[in-house]
């Protein structure tokens, strides 16, 4: 069951756009109640369509047909104004601890229903850090993207081999996958690893190259 907690912080989607993306966030606040209060406070001018508590309770703050104010500046697949193109889902988590089973179960149910309602493909489920890698790190390295992918609720690279590291080739493939051309290699590489290799650190390597090459080939956000 989804609880209603309307936020005044929304506007009409621009240019007749509808959602084709779902952006996942973490709240980085002391509690779900604190996050709910902030997302519904007019003076903060921020909101999301949904907030999921650590216990799995789902709160709806903005109607899906409206433009919630969750994404900020950023781009995906060469397109900006992500707020007009997306549905925002906040998760009650500080980014430093795992996302619990009850919360992930509730998220999977919510994603499935939203994706069906708006015909959003698995490739349309993205991280806040994907669209704004120089500003944001949520939902972070503790979020289980692999679990979502196994349920058909996100994408994951298929079988990959080692490819010789090349920063230019990495950026080209990352931009084909969806990352904005305005972002630096370091920012995109970090966002990529947060999502697909959360335990990896250090310089670009052959595993990174193989994975991004596969993602660009199979899940491109741009036309060939």
Which active-site residues does the annotation give?
90
Say how far apart CA 157 and CA 177 lie, in whole Å. Answer: 11
For the chain, state the CA radius of gyration: 17
11, 66 Cβ separation under 8 angstroms: yes
Say how far apart CA 58 and CA 24 lie, in whole Å. Answer: 14
């Amino acid at each position: 069951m989804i609880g209603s907690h309307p936020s005044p912080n929304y506007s009409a989607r621009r240019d007749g756009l509808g959602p084709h993306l779902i952006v996942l966030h973490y709240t980085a606040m002391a509690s779900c109640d604190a996050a709910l209060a902030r997302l519904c406070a007019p003076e903060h001018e921020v909101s999301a369509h949904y907030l999921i508590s650590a216990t799995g309770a789902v709160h709806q703050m903005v109607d899906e047909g409206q433009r919630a104010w969750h994404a900020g500046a950023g781009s995906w697949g060469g397109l900006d104004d992500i707020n007009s193109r997306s549905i925002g889902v906040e998760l009650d988590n500080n980014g430093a601890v795992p996302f619990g089973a009850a919360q992930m179960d509730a998220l999977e149910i919510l994603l499935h229903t939203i994706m069906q309602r708006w015909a959003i493909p698995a490739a349309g489920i993205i991280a806040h850090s994907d669209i704004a890698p120089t500003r944001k790190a949520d939902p972070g390295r503790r979020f289980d993207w692999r679990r979502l992918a196994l349920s058909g609720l996100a994408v994951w690279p298929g079988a990959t081999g080692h490819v010789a590291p090349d920063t230019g080739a990495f950026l080209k493939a990352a931009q084909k996958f969806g990352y904005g051309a305005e972002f630096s290699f370091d920012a995109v590489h970090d966002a990529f690893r947060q999502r697909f290799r959360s335990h990896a650190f250090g310089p670009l390597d052959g595993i990174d190259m193989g994975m991004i090459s596969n993602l660009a080939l199979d899940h491109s956000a741009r036309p060939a």
